[in-house]
Structure 1
Amino acid sequence: MTTFSPFNETLWHATAIPAPAMTPLEGEVSTDVCIVGGGYTGMTTAIELRRRGVEVTLLEAQEAGFGGSGRNAGHCTPTFVLASLDGLRQALGRERGDRLIARQTKGADMAAEFIRDYQIDCEWKQNGFFQGALMPSTMEALEQKAESYAAAGCPSSLIDAAEAERLTGSTRFYGGWLLKSGGHLNPLSYSRGLARACIQEGVRLYTESRMIDAVREGAKWRLKTAEGSVLCDKFVMATGAYTDGGGMQVEKTYKIWRPLLAATNPLPADVRKQVVPFDGTMHDGRGDIFVYKYNREGRLVVSMFPRGKRGHDMPFTRQMLLDRLRWLHPQVPEHTVWDYYWMGELDMQKTTIPRLYALGPGAVACTGLSGRGVPTGTMLGGILADWAQDVPETELALPVEKLSKAPPYMAIGPQLMLHWYAIKDNLAAKRQGVELPPHP
């Protein structure tokens, strides 16, 4: 059984809105669709189905938002991590690729609608996503990205160095890409708000109800927990990296990778006017990414991936994060400290788009949100609701694939990729006479 990172050490656990009252499943329940997993994907699927008049039961092993949905960095960036839009169309076919692109690029707007419709207090701000260019050569790649997202109907543009400095307060950038639809929030508050929305819509939501087995009984499924069971026509496993048994082998389809996250003490008001004054999400633009944004208290919340000593040597990690932040923004005080530090789990696989896996007649699993959990988990609810309502597979925005094991190289692939990105960026910076960030 996988041991997950501590949940109660996160900034979000300390600052989120209260969870609605929920109880474990006891006894037998019958339903049209049972969803396993109380994160964004599971809860938006439940809400979508209830809006369509489908009877839904949701089982969560811990509490709503316990997994990646409650401990991520809180940025809502409606893009794809590595795949280009044209590459997606080639991989999925033009029609399916366009359907997925339309859903993913509207993921932040969908989150905004859930927040508005259900009055979720989750620190939501939709001020945009900025990806910077720390060397001149990066501008060409960002220009292509800006043009491709604009062609897909997104508020996407390339900006010059002067505008980048105005938005970010940093003089390090030669320019960058601005996607105005990006947002950020308190991810656990959003999760708990979605849980309230589920209950409001009539979803039977049970917490502390880990699915321990799923068996066929005639044309139906029986999902068993420690104290009860759910008899259903169809079921969806939406547990992602937090899959905890259940006998369906979903955890074999990915390898877990643990990002690191940290939050500063609240920065003074005069500093916040100089550092990321546009109050959006920042990406420094290196392949070995450094992403950051504010929370409601004025803390900068940053995220990176472990590499070498980073993530293992805590004093070094904290100093490295501060050095990187102050290199970009020397206005940040030297005495800034990291009040919170935590880690989470990602279900990494060889592609960086969500995957739907057939588990048997009327059963499907969804994994692979790949660091874009807020918009991706939000938009997946519509796709999985379509599947549950028998929309033909050819008309879904994602194919339903045969369950397959993650290739062995995925155990070390992400680390090797990070090292390669760092080497590539460092060599390019030296060729162009650009200063390297600390601890490159």
Structure 2
Amino acid sequence: MTTALPWPQSLWKTTAPEETPNPPLTQDREADVTVIGAGYTGLRAALALAEAGMRVIVLDAGDVGFGASGRTGGQVNPMLPFNAPATVEKIVGRQAFEKLAAQSLGSADEVFSLINTYQIECQARQNGWLRVHHSKAAQRKAKADIADWNAVGADMRVIDQDEVATLSGSRAYSTATLNPKGGAVHPLMFVRGLAAAGKARGVEVFGQTAVSAISRDGATWLTQTEGGKVRSDWVVVATNGYSDGLVKNLAKSIFPITPIQIATDPLPDDVIGDILPQGHTISDSRRVIMYARREPDNRMVYGGHGEPDGKGGMKGFDWLMKDAVRVFPQLEGVRWTHKWGGNIAVTEDHLPHLHEPQAGLIVGLGYNGRGVAMSNVMGRVMAERILGAAPKDLPFPVTKVAGIPLRNLKVMGMKHVIRWMKFLDYLETR
């Protein structure tokens, strides 16, 4: 089964209130800061900068939330993915690790505090996150990682099969990591709420305004679009999984991965009654993960990894439907009415990247599946840098933009790697 991007039957697009599109840029303008990308990262930076009194213009080739921010799974999960604490420390060093760990572990709280501060209506709930273990090896690794993360401020614990079943409604897993800080939002409503908060404080947002070039012009930057140029002291590049050639090597520094999702219409209580009854989100520890959530109106949302079909669309939806029934047999026979996806950015070291290629040009991207929480942290941090924070005081190390070695070959072979990982997951899950 395939479907075309970008908005094929998206639940978030369907259920968000109608909103007037932002107009395109039609004349030359001046600002203190130009932000490229109207997603979580760019809009969070714009909001912080506007509150500090700066004139901010945001440009997007689509509109607010057109990229991954409006199509994500909407899970607000703290904790850096993939890497154990010792690995992160080895990559960034002890001092940077302590800052990065603190920001990561507090990232979900920061998002929900932000939502409360600006009274953003986005179906926000912070009921906890279950990361279920698909094998004995995954369980052992989780226990070791939990001990290390708890030592630096996390509050996680392993729960047994009975508690997993009570909290999730599934008996497919014998143990899970329970993180009480996790939660969920309606992602498109959240990103639009960030835009509204920014606009109320003077941020100007222009949609359907693709940026063709950025260049230094004396002491300022020129951001070129079809409708006009924006002159500013700073440029924030917040394009994440949709990064292109605007910044040299930026697109080559990430793998653009496309998670896909499926969703039902509201389900009757006798079907969905015991699935995630307390509102937890859920994901698993497989190499090719699943993630799921129950909506306030009793819809189910189930996500995983998509694969390009070679025709401009995505495939993998059939696998999601089968896997959903494996985890939740209660969903046997339900009708999945929505199917969609959007690009995220995965870095080779699985850490967010903050770059400052030239004076006045700053880039943040690479959230590796933790985008709702960590992108908002990144946006705030980039604003702090623009407002005068020294690079050494930031929680993200400022690094050079560097292409991934043999990236094109790795991208070409990715579908085969994913299939192999699925096979290994299958063997271990059995």
TM-score, structure 1 normalization: 0.89
Matched residue of 2:80: which SS?
Answer: coil
Per-residue displacement from partner, 1:148-195 (whole Å, max 9, x unpaired)?
332232231111111111111112221110001111111111111111
Amino acid at match of 2:282: M
Q: Which residue of 1 aligns with 2:422?
A: 422
Q: Provide the C-alpha distance between the structure 2 equivalents of 1:145 and 1:92, rounded to a whole number of angstroms.
A: 18
Amino acid at match of 2:31: T
Identity in percent: 28
Q: Which residue of 2 aligns with 1:251?
A: 251
Matched residue of 1:341: which SS?
Answer: strand
Moved more, 67-76 or 256-265: 256-265
Alignment of 1:39-438 (within 5 A): 39-246=39-246, 248-306=248-306, 317-332=316-331, 334-407=332-405, 408=407, 409-412=409-412, 414-415=414-415, 417-428=417-428, 436=430
Matched residue of 1:88: which SS?
Answer: helix
Amino acid at match of 1:283: S
Matched residue of 1:212: which SS?
Answer: strand
Amino acid at match of 2:298: G
Moved more, 239-248 or 54-63: 239-248
Matched residue of 2:145: which SS?
Answer: helix
Change (3 A) 1:55 1:298: same
Amino acid at match of 1:325: A
Amino acid at match of 1:364: I
Answer whether contact 1:107 1:375 (CA < 8 A) is retained. yes
Q: Which residue of 2 aligns with 1:32?
A: 32
Q: Provide the C-alpha distance between the structure 1 equivalents of 2:144 and 2:194, rounded to a whole number of angstroms.
A: 36
Q: Provide the C-alpha distance between the structure 1 equivalents of 2:305 and 2:141, rounded to a whole number of angstroms.
A: 22
Q: Provide the C-alpha distance between the structure 2 equivalents of 1:313 and 1:208, rounded to a whole number of angstroms.
A: 22
Matched residue of 2:12: which SS?
Answer: helix
Structure 1 residue 306 displacement after superposition: 3.3
Amino acid at match of 2:373: P
Structure 1 residue 412 displacement after superposition: 4.2
Answer whether contact 2:263 2:336 (CA < 8 A) is retained. yes
Change (3 A) 1:307 1:381: closer
Per-residue displacement from partner, 1:106-152 (whole Å, max 9, x unpaired)?
12111112211222111111111101123334322121222233223
Change (3 A) 1:18 1:150: farther
Matched residue of 1:331: which SS?
Answer: helix
TM-score, structure 2 normalization: 0.91
Q: Provide the C-alpha distance between the structure 2 equivalents of 1:140 and 1:18, rounded to a whole number of angstroms.
A: 47
Structure 1 residue 30 displacement after superposition: 2.0
Matched residue of 2:337: which SS?
Answer: strand
Structure 2 segments unaligned to the other structure (5+ residues): none
Q: Provide the C-alpha distance between the structure 1 equivalents of 2:317 and 2:243, rounded to a whole number of angstroms.
A: 30
Matched residue of 2:214: which SS?
Answer: strand
Moved more, 212-221 or 394-403: 394-403
Answer whether contact 2:76 2:184 (CA < 8 A) is retained. yes
Moved more, 182-191 or 252-261: 252-261
Amino acid at match of 2:369: G
Q: Provide the C-alpha distance between the structure 2 equivalents of 1:312 and 1:137, rounded to a whole number of angstroms.
A: 37
Q: Provide the C-alpha distance between the structure 1 equivalents of 2:423 and 2:317, rounded to a whole number of angstroms.
A: 22
Amino acid at match of 1:396: L
Q: Provide the C-alpha distance between the structure 2 equivalents of 1:61 and 1:425, rounded to a whole number of angstroms.
A: 38
Matched residue of 1:283: which SS?
Answer: strand
Answer whether contact 2:56 2:203 (CA < 8 A) is retained. yes
Q: Provide the C-alpha distance between the structure 2 equivalents of 1:184 and 1:201, rounded to a whole number of angstroms.
A: 26
Change (3 A) 1:279 1:312: farther
Structure 1 residue 402 displacement after superposition: 2.1
Per-residue displacement from partner, 1:223-262 (whole Å, max 9, x unpaired)?
1221222111111100112235546553232232222211
Structure 1 segments unaligned to the other structure (5+ residues): 430-435
Amino acid at match of 1:356: L
Change (3 A) 1:49 1:284: same
Answer whether contact 1:20 1:195 (CA < 8 A) is retained. no
Q: Provide the C-alpha distance between the structure 2 equivalents of 1:377 and 1:291, rounded to a whole number of angstroms.
A: 19
Answer whether contact 1:33 1:233 (CA < 8 A) is retained. yes
Amino acid at match of 1:387: R
Q: Provide the C-alpha distance between the structure 2 equivalents of 1:273 and 1:300, rounded to a whole number of angstroms.
A: 11
Matched residue of 2:288: which SS?
Answer: coil
Amino acid at match of 1:155: D
Change (3 A) 1:35 1:313: closer
Amino acid at match of 2:237: M
Matched residue of 2:86: which SS?
Answer: helix
Matched residue of 2:57: which SS?
Answer: strand
Structure 1 residue 318 displacement after superposition: 4.5
Matched residue of 2:323: which SS?
Answer: helix
Answer whether contact 2:8 2:339 (CA < 8 A) is retained. no
Superposed CA RMSD:
2.5
Matched residue of 1:231: which SS?
Answer: strand
Per-residue displacement from partner, 1:358-395 (whole Å, max 9, x unpaired)?
33221022221211110011111221112212322222
